[in-house]
Structure 1
Amino acid sequence: MPQRTPESRREKTRGTLPAALRRCLLLLLLLSSLSAACVRSNDAPPSPDTEEPPAHSGCYVSEYGNFRFHGDGSHLTAALLLPDGHELSGDMYYRFQWEHHGVCRYDVASLLVLAEENSGDTLCEFQVLSASEECISLCYFADDAQYEFTLKKQEGIA
């Protein structure tokens, strides 16, 4: 029977140490990836350092029709015929929101959502390109096409 020497033991363990170290590093990498994936997102609307703008009020007109904002920050009357044939007419709720995370000020919003007044069902969503008290630029996606239009406040329209 061959006798084991300290050198033969070292030779035998030489190949296993890097494999064990590799497994340990792989496990450490996997755990750090999992913990990074579990970090809560800080996806929230930008917080402007300005005063909140007043709610839209009055008639805003575009080439596709108009919105009449009631001034309460939640109701409007629409008369739009969008390029894809989608028609919006009648009284409805509206809200400006940041992505799909909730309601926010219109000057930092990414979406304008129109909902049916009685049921609250979403009728249409527009991407907000920019919004101010006098002008709202929107983008509408339909049939693999993108339609941009601007609603401008018109004084003296009933």
Structure 2
Amino acid sequence: MTPAERIADLATTHGYTVAVAESLTGGTLAADLAATEGSSDWFAGGVVAYQTRTKVAVLRVPAGCPVISAQCVSTMAASLAELMSADAVVTVSGAGGPEGQDGQPPGTTWFATLVRGRARTERRHFPGSPEEVLAASREFALRLLAEEMD
């Protein structure tokens, strides 16, 4: 079972409404979830906030907040949960490379989940090309959300 299929199963079984807010992953989390069977019953949608100004304007990340930080992804998660009326959300923001960002080296990625009021943040560093960092971040985000929903 893929992580997206696991999320679908948990959402159906436990009545979750799921949403995602993405930066680094550029909409791939939403695409994975939307492609699962029955997603229209539990997937509220996603926000791709790739630029900092979008994170600030749409997801209420404070201006000047480093976008690759626990504070950023936590704020994204809380704002997304409210915006989408979702009770299981995952957010991701990171430096895919080849250059770093906000003083963080390439491959540094922050994740947040907010599942029925229970918040979690986690920082990971994924080596490799920008494509490899994106793929690893995508996989980790979905696995993290499934773990927190379980």
The answer to whether TM tops 0.5 is no
TM-score normalised to the size of structure 2? 0.29
> Whose RCO is larger (CA < 8 A, sep 6+)?
2
TM-score normalised to the size of structure 1? 0.28
User: Which protein is bigger by CA-based radius of gyration?
Assistant: 1
Higher strand share: 1
